[in-house]
Structures are given as C-alpha cells and as structure tokens.
Structure 1
Amino acid sequence: EMNDYKEHSQDFLGLQYNYYAERYGFEFLIHKSEVRIMQKLKPFIGVFHKDFIESLIFKYEIYDLKLILRSIVEKDPLDLEKEMLTYKTSRYLDHDRLANCDNIRQFTEALIGTPFRHAIYSVRDEDVLQKHFHIEMSLDNLYFSEIERASKKLRPKDKKLVNEYFHTLIDLVNIQWILRAKRFYHLSNEEIFNYSIRHGKIFKGERLKTLVYTQNVQEAVSYIRENGYYKSFQEKNNKDTVYQRMLENFYDKQTVLIDYQNDIGTFLKFYIRFDNQNRNLIKLAEMQKYSLKDKEEIKSFLVGV
C-alpha cells in the first residue's frame, strides 16, 4: 500500500509542473509533499511506529521554526499558508502566535511548554544572524534526540534498523559542522564539541572528541577517512558530494532490508528511497538552474544512480 501510494499519489506527481521553478521554491514544494505523504501513511502504521513517524515530521516543524525566527530578526513577514510546511498540522507550533512576535524574547516565551524552548532559550536577536549555524546545530540536536526518544519504543530489531540509518546521518551532520567550524568560525574545540551531536554511528564518545580536537581541516579529513568514510573523501570534498557519498554508502547496504517484511521495515525502505529520490530531484533542479549538461557529472552527484 505504501509503495502504491508513492507511485500514484497526486501529492507527489502534481509537483512535476514546478520542475523548472527556482531551486528553493522547488525544494520547498518537495518538502511540502513529504509532509503530506507522511501524514497520509500514518494510518498504515502501528501505534508505536506512528510516534516514530511523528518524530520524523518533527524536522519539518524545525524548518518552520527557523524561518519564523529569521523573519522576526529581519523584520520580513511570512505568508504562513504558503511558506510553512506544518501550518495548522504541527503538534507543537502555534505559527500565528510565533509569527506575530516582535522580538526574540516574545518568541521564546511563545515556545514555553514545547520541546523547542530549551534549544533556543538563550538566543538573542543578534544571535540569529551572527550565530545562525550554532542555532541550527542546537535544533538538529533536538531533532535527533526526538528520533532517539521515539526509537526506544520500537522492538529491538526495529530499533537497530532505525539506528543504523539515523546514526549515519548524525555522523554526516557532525562532520559538516566540525569541518565548517574549523574552516570558518573562531571557536574553541570545547565549543565545537558542545554543539556536536552525540550517538553517531562511528564518531561518538572518544572518537568524536578526537575528531573535534584535530589541529586543522586537513588533519580532520584524514581522521575521517581513517575511520570508515574513506570513499566519501576520495575526490571532490564539497559538502554536497560528501553528503551524497555518505548516503550512498548506506543506500548500498539496503539489501539487508529486503527480507524485512514488518511495517517498520517496509516503511524504512520506503522512507530511505523516498528521501534519496527527493534529494536527487532537488539536485537535478539545481543543476538545471545552472545549466549543467554533462550526464556523467550529473550522475556523480545523485544517490543510488
């Protein structure tokens, strides 16, 4: 039923006419379709697994939160119906109240009683612009904590499957954060470590700390290559290529899911392929925007192709 929905849903197919839209407009439409499809799949999933799906939708609430936060600081009003992903469907966000806040103090007060309050309670107006990536890391930390919380309710075999995928993503987020912090920010290693996300697949505990405390970007990349992500750093080291290769490494391992027939296994197979497919569509739209023609070069940026 899930595969049939993916293949025939108008939520997905209806986006094709926007293929040549601006890259970020297209990306928003893709994410909007993801939210709709995830909501419609919930009736097919068991009770504990519904909570897990809700934890996946949590990232779209974070997406909305980041946009509202920035709009308050930049005094740039949003059209909530058109620009939000979870407007009227969010478990935690009162979009109208948040968008009507005049400053960050009001914004944080409006988040009292939600999981987001702790992540940004100390943020000031100037921090959103000056420390934007720090705030994103705090919210990403919150997202993966929510995934971790929901996965604890799953059966051991299901939990193992979920952790395999999301702990790989945590490695990816941490690697991007650490390399960017070393390259662009004047932060102490202690600060970089404090913003890093725990529970990665390879980079956790002492390995994560060792990565953070490398002397420079070159030493960090060497350490990453020595500890499981050699292929990801063989050639081009821009973040999109690294992102693609790390995901593709997991994509290649999906054969372990073939015989996994219960609902979370079926859903996770769907989710991974769906997520990779949408990443590919977004990349293709971006390449179209910049008139990239070489098919082999295009394929090198796509997952599972």
Structure 2
Amino acid sequence: MKHFLSFSGINTKVKAMGAKLISPEEFKTIANLEAVSDLIAFLKNHPGYREIFERYDEHELHRADAERIISVGLYLDYAKLYRFANDMQRKDLELFFFRYEVTILKNCIHNIYSSNRSFDLSLFEAFFNKHSDLNVTALAASQSMDEYINHLRGTQYYPLLVKLQNSGNVTTFDYEMHLDIYFFKKTWKLKDRELEDQSHKAFTHRLGTEIDLLNIMWVFRSKSMYHMPSSDIYSFIIPVNYRLTKEQLHRLVESATLDEFMNILKTTHYNSFAGSLHDGTMEHVYRNIITKIYRNNKINYPSSMATVNNYIHEKEAEINRLTTALECIRYGLDPQVKLKYILQ
C-alpha cells in the first residue's frame, strides 16, 4: 500500500494529461483537413497543443516548422512530469530522456549528410539546456562531422564518436547504429542501478523485449536485404540478451539460409514474430508488441512508473501520427487513405 500511494499523485497527474490526448474521432476530423494551416488551426484549439501553437499564425508556418512545434509538445509534457515527480520517479524519467538525447544526436548527423541545412533546434534549446549538457543549437548548425564531434567535447558521447571517426570510412549509418547500441547497453545497466521493485520489473520487460526484437529484425534484414557476412552482422548487434539467449542469437546470425533462420527463430520465445518477417509487416508488429507491453505494464505494475511510461509512449505515438498527417496533406491524399496511414 505504501508503494502504491507513493505513485498515486503522479498517476493522477498523468490521468489528467491523458484526457488531453487526441481521440480516434478527432483523428478522423484531422484526416479530412486539406491544408497545413487547417491542421495548425485545429491544434490551436485543442487542449493538448493550444499552449504551444497559440502564439503562431497558422498561415505563416510551413510544414517543417509545424513538425518541430508539434514535437515540442512531447518535451513540454516530459518537463511537467519531471517537475511533479519525486527523486525516485525522476530516475525513471531520466532514462527516457537519454533516448531523446540520442534521437536529437542522430537527427543532427543525418542533417550533416543531407542537402537540407535548415535544421532548426532553437525551439528545443531551453528544454535541453535544463535537462542536458548538449548544445543542441551548435550541433544542429554543424557543417561537418569534425565540427559536430568537437561540439560534443565533455559529454559522454565524445569518446564513442571520436573512436568511430578515427576508424575510417564511417557512414551516417555507422554513427547512428553505434549511438543506438550505446544507448541500449548503457540503459540496460542503468536501470539495474537506478530503478527498484515494480518500476524495475516493468522497465526491464519492456526494454528487454525491445532489444531482442531489434536484434532479430537486424539479423533478418542483414541476411534478406543486405546479404552481409556474419562477421559484419555482429558489429551492429546490441550486446544484451533478455528472452532471446546468447546462444539463440548466435545461431540466428550464423544461419546459412533464410529458411534455417526461420526454423531457429521458431524455437525461441519469439516464435510468433516469424510470420511478420515473411509478410513484410515486422515494423508494424514490432510497434504493436511494444505498445501492448506498455499497456499491460500499466495494469500489472500499478506501484510503479508504468502508467507514466505508457502516457509518454502514447504521446510519442500521437506526435508521430500528427507528423504523418502533415505528410498526407502535403501529398493531397484522400481522407480515408490519410486516416489509414495516420492510425496504422
């Protein structure tokens, strides 16, 4: 009862915030909008986004601007929860923030390698200044990897990226994959040190399943699409095992054919995932599995941060749907087609 009561306050806070999420019916309305300005006008009047859009004129914002402003909604909600949380609860939230840092770092790298140099992170500057030692504005303005890595001096990411850069012939794929591997390895260790009781159980189950499935998908893609040798596949494996044992993962990597790979996978805890690899729905099925874990954790671990984690996951999904809606408007898709893409 003591543990349950310690989470009742923040869970009540999350319930109130959850009431401001966009409903399926509201997404049907969004699917019928024909212009970016229409969507912005809708969000200006929605309780979940009114705060961040009220100072903007919907007729003056471009699609890319709207996407960045929508993303601010996630960080604002995170900041509200962080301010409300006690010290123990903040440890869980800080592991979520680690993922946001890595996402921003990957986006900045992608920007350097692309022809689009209008990557503006000024909207996120105040948030990251408070929660991070990253200079996101300087990173976003970097014109080369040398400049980018130099801006990371003094952070935990500098040694990793310098070592990778010095190895030679490094691509954006290499940088982004190694940042992901670093995130998962470190988070797997940190959750054992920072989290307790039900919060630890819920976080471990969700993250462990995520890692196992990501490794399975990586090995499958490497063999079916890239035809990579086993030695190269190992370079991008997340070195963490949850319900997929080290031996099982090794056998998957060393499998000589896709049929052998599938037969091995069917002997593991993730037997039911094999069908989605065959029919091309693995990304969709992966997202559904992780979403189901978030929801089940909320029920199974009431004396934990699982309710908060589930809300953050729902907010992330909502922002992805709004970004998809902007893309659909850009291409002038029919309302029913838009809705299919938005809700998939």
Q: TM-score, normalised by structure 2?
A: 0.69
The verdict on how the C-alpha distance between 1:227 and 1:23 changes in structure 2, with shifts beyond 3 A counting, is: farther
Once the two structures are aligned, what percentage of the paired residues are identical? 19
- Give yes or no for contact 1:178–1:192 (8 Å, CA) kept in 2: yes
Cα shift readout 1:172-195 (whole Å, capped 9, x = no counterpart): 322332223224446431231132
The answer on 1:64 being equivalent to 2:104 is yes
Q: How many residue pairs end up in the alignment? A: 296
- Give yes or no for contact 1:78–1:99 (8 Å, CA) kept in 2: yes
The verdict on how the C-alpha distance between 1:225 and 1:263 changes in structure 2, with shifts beyond 3 A counting, is: same
The answer on 1:109 being equivalent to 2:150 is yes
- Give yes or no for contact 1:72–1:102 (8 Å, CA) kept in 2: yes
Q: Report how far residue 12 of structure 1 moved.
A: 3.3
Q: Which amino acid aligns with 1:260?
A: Y
The answer on 1:298 being equivalent to 2:340 is yes
Q: Report how far residue 99 of structure 1 moved.
A: 4.3
The residue that corresponds to 1:12 in the other structure is 48
Q: Report how far residue 165 of structure 1 moved.
A: 0.7
The residue that corresponds to 2:265 in the other structure is 224
Secondary structure of 1:212's aligned partner: helix
The residue that corresponds to 2:33 in the other structure is none
- Give yes or no for contact 2:78–2:312 (8 Å, CA) kept in 1: no
Measure, in 2, the Cα distance between the counterparts of 1:139 and 1:85. 23
Cα shift readout 1:206-265 (whole Å, capped 9, x = no counterpart): 2222222222445434433442334444357576x3233233235445445326333513
Measure, in 1, the Cα distance between the counterparts of 2:284 and 2:17. 26
Measure, in 2, the Cα distance between the counterparts of 1:86 and 1:212. 41
The residue that corresponds to 2:165 in the other structure is 123
Cα shift readout 1:151-209 (whole Å, capped 9, x = no counterpart): 22111332111011111111232233222322444643123113211224333412222
Measure, in 2, the Cα distance between the counterparts of 1:111 and 1:167. 29
Measure, in 1, the Cα distance between the counterparts of 2:86 and 2:226. 44
- Give yes or no for contact 2:202–2:301 (8 Å, CA) kept in 1: no
Measure, in 1, the Cα distance between the counterparts of 2:109 and 2:201. 35
The residue that corresponds to 1:94 in the other structure is 135
Measure, in 2, the Cα distance between the counterparts of 1:285 and 1:48. 38
The answer on 1:139 being equivalent to 2:151 is no
The residue that corresponds to 1:37 in the other structure is 77
Secondary structure of 1:136's aligned partner: helix
The residue that corresponds to 1:202 in the other structure is 243
CA-atom RMSD, angstroms? 3.9
Measure, in 1, the Cα distance between the counterparts of 2:250 and 2:241. 12
Q: Report how far residue 118 of structure 1 moved.
A: 3.1
The answer on 1:168 being equivalent to 2:209 is yes
Cα shift readout 1:98-118 (whole Å, capped 9, x = no counterpart): 345453233323322212123
Q: Which amino acid aligns with 2:286?
A: M
- Give yes or no for contact 2:112–2:143 (8 Å, CA) kept in 1: yes
Please say which structure displays the higher CA radius of gyration: 2
Q: Report how far residue 6 of structure 1 moved.
A: 2.9
The residue that corresponds to 2:311 in the other structure is 270
The residue that corresponds to 1:55 in the other structure is 95
- Give yes or no for contact 2:206–2:290 (8 Å, CA) kept in 1: yes
Secondary structure of 1:203's aligned partner: coil
The verdict on how the C-alpha distance between 1:115 and 1:234 changes in structure 2, with shifts beyond 3 A counting, is: same
Q: TM-score, normalised by structure 1?
A: 0.76
Gaps of 5+ in 1: none
The verdict on how the C-alpha distance between 1:238 and 1:292 changes in structure 2, with shifts beyond 3 A counting, is: farther
The residue that corresponds to 2:42 in the other structure is none
The answer on 1:211 being equivalent to 2:252 is yes
Q: Which amino acid aligns with 2:340?
A: I
Measure, in 2, the Cα distance between the counterparts of 1:146 and 1:262. 25
Cα shift readout 1:113-150 (whole Å, capped 9, x = no counterpart): 2121233222279856xx33222221111222343244
